């Protein structure tokens, strides 16, 4: 069969026409590729670590000296992440990251138990930021606290 003598208006069997079989093959092939991508994406994300978030500056004014009552805590901003400032019953300030090391929930101070608690999965840290119980895999980052006049200044710990 040759199509040389035919006009454009007549059907030529040599030209490719879309078929149902071709459409189903394309549809199934696209579905298989999408399924493979959905399985491979988490594997690739597992092997490529996320970028370390910068805390912004090295120090921040977390509170004024009269803002906290004894044996209470306050969440403050340390750059782009939350921090937790605690005023203990003896008047000592402590500060740490308020981002749980398990899934990134914001932790809070529980004055009745004198512990830091993550409400997402019941993770518990002591006042030094060490994980005591629950799913958190590592301690909270602990910050230095200095009182300068009326300001409570929190800064990153200097590495020795």
Q: What is the pLDDT of residues 116-143, one digit of tens each?
A: 999 888 889 998 989 888 888 889 989 9
Same domain, 91 and 121: yes
Are 100 and 106 in contact, with CB atoms under 8 Å apart? yes
CATH code of 86's domain: 2.102.10.10
Query: Looking at the predicted structure, is the pLDDT value of residue 158 above 70?
Result: no
- Whether 11 is covered by a domain: the verdict is no
In this prediction the pTM is 0.62
- Whether 81 is covered by a domain: the verdict is yes
Domain limits at 100?
A: 59-156
- Whether 5 is covered by a domain: the verdict is no
Same domain, 29 and 75: no
For the CA atoms of the chain, what is the radius of gyration? 30
Residue pLDDT, tens place only, 95-105? 999 998 888 88
């Amino acid at each position: 069969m040759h199509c040389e003598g035919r006009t454009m208006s007549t059907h030529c069997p040599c030209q490719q026409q879309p078929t149902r079989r071709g459409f189903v093959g394309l549809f199934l092939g696209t579905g298989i590729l999408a399924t493979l991508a959905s399985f491979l994406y988490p594997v690739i994300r597992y092997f490529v670590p996320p970028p370390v978030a910068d805390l912004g500056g090295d120090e921040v004014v977390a509170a004024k000296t009269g803002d906290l009552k004894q044996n209470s805590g306050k969440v403050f901003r340390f750059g782009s992440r939350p921090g937790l400032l605690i005023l203990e019953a003896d008047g000592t300030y402590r500060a740490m990251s308020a981002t749980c090391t398990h899934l990134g929930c914001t932790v809070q101070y529980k004055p009745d138990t004198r512990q830091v608690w993550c409400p997402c999965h019941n993770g518990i840290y002591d006042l030094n930021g060490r994980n005591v119980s629950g799913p958190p895999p590592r301690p909270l980052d602990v910050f230095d606290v200095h009182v300068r006049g009326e300001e409570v200044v929190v800064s990153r710990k200097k590495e020795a």
